[in-house]
Each structure stands twice: as structure tokens, then as C-alpha cells.
Amino acid sequence: MTRILHAAETAVAQSLAGFVAAHEELVTFGRDDKFVRRRTLSPGKVAVISGGGAGHEPLHCGFIGVGMLDAACTGHVFTSPTPDQILAAMDETDTGAGCLLVVKNYDGDVMNFEMAAEMAADRHRIETVIVEDDAAYGPSVRSRGRRGVAGTMVVEKLLGAAAERGEDLAGLKALGEGLSGRLRSMGVALRGVTLPDNTRETFALGPDEMEIGVGIHGEPGLYRTGRAGADEIVRLLCEPVLAQLSPLTDARPLLIVNGFGGTPPIELHLAHNLTRAFLRQHGIVPARALVGTFVTSLDMAGLSVTLALLTPEEFALWCAPVTTPTLVW
């Protein structure tokens, strides 16, 4: 891959094989290795299916398991999975209650999941939830609207838990759409992404620069500025998040501090502590916090802050038991 060099064409397949081998008690490859699925399906449960380009690991495959996803389709690096992959995942994991597709808001992903849903409309009941949590781009900036970033794991956890307790397709769709205005993320990059086919970084940052409002595909962010201290970085991430969140009475705030791949745990926990202090000054005390490397952009250094204002029912879904390669509680 990027720094552990390997032929780009086979790197994703090799990495997926390594992932499945490490977690074979929980997951297995689907037909022709087109996707990864739970080893054991639950008959009569809605199948929750997600996917996207490689390079964002542990998203999505790391969230397959009881209480979260049934299957995930992985494309090439930063490239959508094909409709064929998505179709195969639906065919193999729909046990009668239909399929709920969780899709990050990118043109390619939305198009390919839509195409697969159309192709399968005669044999599966299907609903789709689009994730668009990135506070960096308002709907007016890009035709497609906000990008789906680290908040995707919140949507996958809540919908997965609801499906597990027997929620039907319509209920899952309503749950996902209801969450949309109360889920926002914002990211900073301190070093760009190294693409696997060469050593080029998609955007180059000097040692004294940082990029605010980055996505997870190496695309530039909202603006570039001088490298600030951690307190200032936290402020630059949290302010747009707070400004865009729809208020909610009796909210249970969920905080996620997510590393982009090249930033170690010591820095993520430091940022987490400063984020808590910032939120406290704004009257927000997280009911739960999760700190780690969950939604990555290959080896990009940097992190994102996600805040979700959950209802008590949604918070119970977040806290519900989960057994996946990445989240276990």
C-alpha cells in the first residue's frame, strides 16, 4: 500500500484477506470474494449493508457483526464498489425482511448503490439512508451536499442495533433520516495522503501548515492555515460543528474523536481532552465518548471531531451490545 509498498491492483484484496483471516470467527467473504459478511445471518432481520472505497479502514468491514452491519462492499482505493458487488451482498444477506443500504454522500457511491437498488427492485425490498455529516461543506457549496465522513459509524451503529431488535425497513429509514440534522463532523489534516500507486500526496502541506475541513479522499479542505496549537485546532473543528447541529431538548451528546490513519493514540486522546473542555464551556457534556482510528484516509495525519445529539432512544441504540472486529461492548 502507501508506505508498505505493494502493487496497487492487488493491495486491497490482500488487505481484505488479512482482515477476514484475523476475524474469521465473526466474518467471512461472500460469493466470489465480492463483499464481506457476517459469518452467521439472522433470519427475518433486515440486512444492513454498507460499503465504499478502500482506504477508510476499519470502516466499513470492521463494523460487520452482531448489532451493526450484515455486509460491506469494498471498492478499489477511494473508488466506489460496483453495483455488481452490492447486488451480490443483497442477494446473499437478505433473509426476508429486506435490505437497508447505508451510503456515504459521494457521487460514485450514491450512483452505484442506486443502480444496484434498481437492478434488485424486483427481488428485494430496499431502503437507503444517505450519510452527510461533514460540517465543512454546506448544501450550497457542492451539488451533492455534505459529504459522509466519520459520522457514518454512528449511523451504522444505530441502524444496526435497531435492526437487531427487530425494527422494520420503514422504521430504520425514518431513524436514519431523523438523525441527519443532529450529526456533524469536521476534520483537520496535518499531512496529506500518500496514494498507493505512487508516492505522490494528493495535497502537500508544509510542516507549518494545516488543512481545515478535509474529507477522507485526499481532496483539499475548506481552507489552509498556519499550524496552530491543539487548543486552537479543537476550536476550529468544534465551532462549525456546534453551529450546524439542530438543537435537541434532553439530548444525549455522543462525541467521537477519530484519527485519519497517520495520527497515533496519544494525540487523539490529547485532542479528546481538549475537545471535552471546549464543549464544557459551551454547556455540552458528552454522555459517551469514543476515541480511536475508525474512518481513515489512508495514512493522512490529522483527526476529526464528530458530535451527535441523540435522543434517549437513539442513545440506547448506541449503547446496545455490539460484537464486531472494531467495536465490542
Among 230, 281, 313, 321, binds a copy of itself (CB under 8 A): 230
Residue pair 323/66 in contact (Cβ under 8 Å)? The answer is: yes
- SS3 call for 262: coil
Q: Name which of 103, 99, 87, 48 is nearest 71 in CA terms.
A: 48
Q: Shortest approach of a copy of itself to residue 273 CB, angstroms?
A: 3
Q: Indicate which residue of 23, 56, 60, 272 is catalytic.
A: 56
Residue 16 or 155: the one with the smaller Cβ distance to a copy of itself is 16
Which of helix, strand or coil describes residue 279?
helix
280 lines the binding site for a copy of itself (CB under 8 A): no
What's the N-to-C CA distance of the chain in angstroms?
31
- Regarding 200 and contact with a copy of itself (CB under 8 A), the answer is no
Closest CB to a copy of itself among residues 21, 243: 21
The residues in 59-88 that bind a copy of itself, with binding defined as CB under 8 A, are 62
- Looking at the DSSP bridge assignments, the partners of residue 254 are 288, 308
Point out the catalytic residue in the list 23, 60, 124, 217.
217
Query: Alpha helix locations (H) across the chain?
Result: 8-22, 83-93, 107-119, 152-164, 169-179, 230-244, 265-281, 312-319
Phi/psi at 238 (nearest 5 deg)? -75, -35
Is 217 annotated as catalytic?
yes
* 110, 228, 287, 320: residue in contact with a copy of itself (rule CB under 8 A): 228
CA dihedral (99, 102, 105, 107) positive or negative: negative
Q: Using CB under 8 A, which of the segments 6-14, 79-87, 127-135, 211-219 binds a copy of itself?
A: 6-14
Give the interface size with a copy of itself as a residue count (CB under 8 A).
Answer: 59
* Overall residue count recorded for the chain in this entry: 329
**Residue 21 interacts with a copy of itself (CB under 8 A): yes or no:** yes
Based on the shown chain and the rule CB under 8 A, indicate whether residue 5 belongs to the binding site for a copy of itself.
Answer: yes
Q: How far is CA 217 from the centre of its chain?
A: 12
Per rule CB under 8 A, is residue 148 in the interface with a copy of itself? no
Which residues are known catalytic residues? 56, 217
Q: List interacting residues with a copy of itself (CB under 8 A).
A: 1-6, 11-12, 14-19, 21-22, 54-55, 57-58, 62, 190-191, 199, 207, 227-231, 233, 257, 261-274, 276, 289-291, 293, 296, 298-299, 301-303, 328-329
